[in-house]
Structure 1
Amino acid sequence: MTKFYDRLSTDLTRLLEDPIDYNVTIEKFNETPFNDDHIKELTMENTNISIKMFNIIIKYIYGGTISLEKLENSVIFDLLIASDELKLDELVEYLQTYLIVNNASWLRLNFAKIYRTSYKFKNSKIIQEFCNDIIVKHPNTIFESEYFHSISEDALISILKRDDLQLEEGKILEYVIQWGKAKNPTLPSDIKEWTNNNFLTLKETLKGCLPHIRYFSISGDDVIEKIYPYQQLLEQ
């Protein structure tokens, strides 16, 4: 069991368990009004936090303790997402580190889910870096995956910024253009049919990605094959 906020009194935990002496009611699903006893009732709607998750979190909030040893890895990851939703920054950081130190093999086995989900919550830099460390060594893990075209711009840029990505720069540019096209499915499939507006559309989509391509590393053949047809995307 890990204990947070050591200086907090255990009386807070007793308060959580006391059905009489309380001043806050939190209802997980149903909307409830303020009552006549001036008890502030908080309604948590539009959330994916389960009752099981919330029970763990509320004990952490009151008692500053959490025990993960008997929890499945998938439950711990869901707990991480729920903690981020509730803006429990210290717990979010702790859970990310815990998973990487103790359950890295599970993270790798569930890489696709972990990677995509990590960009859906705010404070996931630790998990994101863990995933990017895998991607730079095994680029096909992401670039040849079925969900590559659906990753976010932030995720793609975080990969492009890495100096140790083990992939030819010409190939990286090719993947980036594929990603941009996927974001604009109405673009003609034959580039010979593209108008100036088509190029401007793709340029706008890729404006955050293109500056991170290392053009000086692209071979002469790739310049002709992969850059020349899309030269309108690039600044002079």
Structure 2
Amino acid sequence: MNTADMLLMDDFIDYLEHNIIQTEKHYIARETNKLLLVSTRITRCKTLLNVCQQSMLRNPIAFIHSEEFLSVPPEYVRELLEFDTLGLDEESIFDAIIKWGVYNTRDLDMVDVIDHVKNWSVDQFDALRSTIKDFIPLIRFFKMDSCYFNEKFGPYKLLLDDDLYNHIIQYHKNPNSFPLHKFYPLRLNSTLISEFHISVISSWIEIPEDQREQYSPPPIIEMIQDYNLNSLPFEFDLIFRSQGKRISDGLWCQKVHNQGPTLTIIKTSNQGLFGGYKSASWKEKKITKGKHNKIKKIECVDGGDGFIFQWLDDHSFDDDKIICPKLQWINKHLDFDMFLGGSKMSLDFRYGKGLSVFNRESRHDKCEKGLMYTIEEVEIFRVLKRNS
């Protein structure tokens, strides 16, 4: 395809692109990074670029760690940084930009320079800064983890203007302060859901309890006109991700307990997405033991209210393929870890890689009583109310 592009064989390029998309789906999945690089270099391959991009967004960490990422043109790097939904934390994004910049800056050696960043010369910093200057405004430094910024970013401060760097430092010391510089909101770090999903879910969270019956399933999602994360009343901060592995109790307690309201997204291998919103924290229950170490009392914890849902969607980043979800309001979540719902309908993912779906009210619902689905990935977000 590259050779055909150099020889200006436009019709042949169009034929190859169409053939790959229509007949080589497994090849695209296996060689996403290579095809993505090729399609970023050939302006005619916009359709192939879009297909490869959708595949890449399901595992972006593999792409930014690949050799192909280092060779993508700067225009595409900038396009990625403008995404509000990207399944990466800001620290990983910044590290990737540094590697891309070093690789694409003359006289900077990849291994020697990155391994000895504290010994860089002013000229080396100036050279790198010139390479990535258009990317710096798109990196969300204000949304980085404070520990990361304070402990690891220091050597790179020469890449920023003194004024901007000082404001970021002050913001991380006092996150409640208002940054003087324009900054982007928290990027949606998800490989499972898009801006469209999160816009719909935000609208559900906002519905007052006394009005929920007006939005009984199936909910009307056509009323969502604005999918821009900037306009949403909430931010969704990823606190936990598990890819096809059993979730240990210790890791769950460490990452998920006492985080306030949360949104859980569960991707299954055959039925799209399941999930739920919980208005109260998951918390560790206090257990009182009596004689012979027998449990005497288990403290009840407020599970909060919210909802659970099933979203029949095999194309998370393609809004045209989204099917209207099934929604069930929950007046009170039962207070179990890795469990959403009440006594009548629930999602239970305490059993390793399996998701148990119970619906004790309807025999005709697709979420039938006792169905078990295979979990591919779980994402849990802390839901933060934005300051007005």
Under a length normalisation based on structure 2, what TM-score does the superposition of the two structures give? 0.36
Give the root-mean-square deviation of aligned CA atoms: 2.8
Cα distance per residue 1:63-116 (max 9 Å; x no partner): xxxxxxxxxxxxxxx4x9737853647x75676455334433222223233122
Structure 1 residues without counterparts, runs of 5 or longer: 1-77
Residue in structure 1 matched with residue 57 of structure 2 by the alignment:
136
Alpha-carbon distance between aligned partners in 1 of 2:149 and 2:5, rounded to the nearest angstrom: 47
Question: Which consecutive segments of 4 or more residues in structure 1 shift more than 6 A?
Answer: none
CA displacement 1:182-207 (0-9 Å, x = unmatched): 23424744222222222111100111
**Matching residue within 143, 148, 152 for 1:222:** 148
CA 137–112 in structure 1, closer or farther in 2 if over 3 Å, else same = closer
**1:83–1:223 distance in 2 versus 1, CA, 3 Å:** closer
Task: State the distance in 1 between where 2:43 and 2:7 align.
Answer: 9
Q: Shift of residue 153 of structure 1?
A: 2.0
2:41–2:73 Cα contact (<8 Å) kept: no
Partner of 1:165: 86
Alpha-carbon distance between aligned partners in 1 of 2:68 and 2:16, rounded to the nearest angstrom:
26
CA displacement 1:112-165 (0-9 Å, x = unmatched) = 331222133222222222222222220133122233333332332232222211
Identity between Structure 1 and Structure 2 (%): 25
- The answer for the alignment partner of 1:40 in structure 2 is none
**Within 2, Cα distance between the matches of 1:136 and 1:226?**
27
Tell me the number of residue pairs that the alignment of Structure 1 and Structure 2 aligns: 157
- The one-letter code of the counterpart of 1:191 is V
2:37 corresponds to: 116
Q: 1:93 to 1:209 in 2, by over 3 A?
A: farther
Report the equivalent of 1:151: 72
More helix by share: 1
What is the match of residue 17 of structure 1? none
1:205 aligned partner: 131
Change (3 A) 1:84 1:190: closer
How many Å separate the matches in 2 of 1:116 and 1:232? 30
Name 2:191's counterpart in structure 1.
Answer: none
Q: Secondary structure at the residue paired with 1:147?
A: helix
2:116 counterpart residue number: 190
Amino acid at match of 2:153: I
Partner SS state of residue 167, structure 1: coil
TM-score, normalised with respect to structure 1? 0.56
Runs of 5+ in structure 2 lacking a partner? Answer: 165-388
Kept in 1: contact 2:37–2:69 (CA 8 A): no
Distance across 2 between alignment mates of 1:85 and 1:225: 51
- The residue aligned with 1:82 is 4
Instruction: Write the mapping of 1:29-48 to structure 2, written as runs, cut at 5 A.
Output: none
Task: Please say if 1:174 is aligned against 2:69.
Answer: no
Check 1:133–1:202 CA distance in 2 against 1; reply closer, same or farther (3 A cut): same
What's the counterpart of residue 106 of structure 1?
27
Matching residue's letter, 1:215: F
- Deviation of 1:209 (Å): 2.1
Q: Secondary structure at the match of 2:56?
A: helix
Deviation per CA, 1:26-58: give whole Å up to 9, x if none. Answer: xxxxxxxxxxxxxxxxxxxxxxxxxxxxxxxxx
